[in-house]
Each structure stands twice: as C-alpha cells, then as structure tokens.
Homo-oligomer: A and B are copies of this chain.
Amino acid sequence: MDLGLRIDKAMTAAISQAQGTSEPAGTVPGRLAAALNYAVTPGGARIRPTICLSVARACGDDAPDLADRAAVALEMIHCASLVHDDLPCFDDASFRRGKPTLHLAFSEPLAVLAGDSLIIAAFEALAAAGPHHATRALLLLQLLGRHTGMPHGICAGQGWESEAQVDLRAYHRSKTAALFVAATQMGAVAAGHEAQPWAELGARIGEAFQVADDLRDALYDAQTLGKPTGQDKAHSRPSAVEELGVDGAIRRLKDCLGGAIASIPSCPGEAGLAQMVRLYADRMTPSLPAKA
C-alpha cells in the first residue's frame, strides 16, 4: 500500500477511536471530538509519519500494524504541538493550513484540551499494540516520550523560548529535530531494528527541516504558506537566516541533507530511503523569494 494511504487510514482509525464514534450518541463531548479531527486535518505533508514508515519499510517492515501505530503517534503529537503553539499565550496565530487556528474556530479551552487529548491518544495508539510485540511497543513508547517531553523533547524546545539564556544547540535539537529523530528511530524499532544507528538521520533531516522552515518564514508571504510568516523576527526567535543570511542558510540546508543521506545505516532498503531524502531535499529548498 502507498505510504500516504497507510497513514490516512491509520490516522482516521486513531482519531475515530479518540472521538468515540462507536459510543452511544450524546455520551461523548461533541465539540471536543470535532476539535480533534479539526486539529489533524487537512493532513498536509504528514512528513514525520512518512519518514517513520519509510524507515520501517527500509528495515523490512515485519510488523506493519506497529509501524502504523508509531507513525500515527508521531503525527498526533506533532498536531498537538501545533495547536498548543498557536495559542494566544504562544504565537497567537490566526490561521494554519489555510484555515482558522483551533482556538479561534472552537475556543481556547477546547484548544488546550484537544492538544492534551491528542498527546494522550498518541501514547494510547502505541499502548494498544497488543501483547504480541509488547517489548517493541514499550521501546516505542519510551522513544516517543523522550523526544516529546522534558528534558529533551519538543516541550523542552518550546520551553527554551521562556529562558533568558538560550543554549541554541539544545533549543534546535529539541524544538524540531527531536520529533524527526523519533520518526527514524521509531520506524526502525517498529521493524525490530536498533534505535541508536538511526538517530543521526533523524537529527540531520530535522536540522534541514528547521533551516527550510526559517527560510520559508523569512522569504515567503502568508498566503503562499497558509500560515503567518515573519514570526521568527516578530518573536525575536533564533533563526538560521538571521545567523547565516539567506545564501548561507541554503548552503546549510544542502549540507544537512547530504549528511542525512550519508548517515543512513545499512539495511535492505537503503537505496530507496536515500531516494526519499533526495525527494524531500527538492521539496524543501526554496525556489525563489516570493516576498519583496
């Protein structure tokens, strides 16, 4: 099955479970249930679950249901982080993926709760893997926790924005790279491989993604991107463009992606995986500035 279809199918099942769609009518809070679906649609690139399944496939994908659960868990955590980051107390963002942010479309309480519920649903998706692959599932849960919470996950990354002195390396590693490292490691573990050799691939893709995001934030307008731009400057956030300039940032992006390909551990599907990273490289590199 096409990876995109696999992800869509698994996401639909997991969200439907969290929404309680098989429960008797009126026994589930309907607005929060609707907010969960709103938070994960439209899907966009689904880049983290795609990386996860690509690595699982490169490693033999001998437990596809478990790999699907890992992919879904990553995407739900990612969507939860977007919902919470968009809140008035953080970015105070008005639109995302071309539609109003969740707290504007629903309410601030429902945005907090939808984020919380998606975080929990992510762990539930893995916990429900069944006893057949219990040891792998526990490892996946550990990896998800480590790269999501404190002290080194995406919560820590966001937490750095409340510090007077920022460790820039730790900031970037946590804020963006952590979930990409989770994606490569969880794909490998779901297929019965070791996590550690896959950390570098995730870290390099994550760094590339962060640099690409900084470039888009600096170069594109909001309409092109479907979300507000110029946010790094507006919130005085550290950015590769500020540090290296536009040309330097584009060079850094290419270096990261080259390093990512070089770091792929030897596995049955090594060549296909390198091809996937090249595809992302083309997509990520900004073609031309759309802003004046």
A residues adjacent to B (C-beta < 8 A) = 18-20, 23, 26-33, 36, 80, 84, 87, 89-90, 106-110, 112-113, 115-117, 119-121, 123-124, 126-129, 131, 134-135, 137-138, 141-142, 144-146, 148-153, 155-156, 158-163, 165, 167, 170
State the Cβ distance, A93 to closest chain B Cβ, in Å: 14
Cβ-closest chain B residue relative to A171:
B29
Give the distance in Å from the alpha carbon of A231 to the alpha carbon of B20 in the complex.
29
Given A120-B155, A123-B145, 15 more pairs with CB closer than 8 A: A31-B163, A32-B150, A33-B150, A36-B150, A84-B112, A89-B108, A106-B162, A109-B161, A120-B148, A120-B150, A123-B144, A124-B145, A127-B142, A134-B135, A137-B138
- Kindly identify which residue among B115, B134, B145, B162 contacts A110, using a CB–CB cutoff of 8 Å: B162
State the Cβ distance, A186 to closest chain B Cβ, in Å: 12
Total copies of this chain within the assembly: 2
> Knowing A19-B151, A124-B145 touch, does A116 contact B115 (C-beta < 8 A)?
yes
Cβ-closest chain B residue relative to A31:
B162
Cβ–Cβ contact B162 & A32, under 8 A:
yes
State the Cβ distance, A173 to closest chain B Cβ, in Å: 9
Give the distance in Å from the alpha carbon of A148 to the alpha carbon of B135 in the complex.
23
State the Cβ distance, A203 to closest chain B Cβ, in Å: 15
> Knowing A20-B152, A162-B110 touch, does A28 contact B116 (C-beta < 8 A)?
no
Give the distance in Å from the alpha carbon of A149 to the alpha carbon of B33 in the complex.
11
Give the distance in Å from the alpha carbon of A90 to the alpha carbon of B111 in the complex.
11
List residues of chain B with CB within 8 A of the CB of A107.
Answer: 89, 162
- Kindly identify which residue among B89, B121, B144 contacts A112, using a CB–CB cutoff of 8 Å: B89
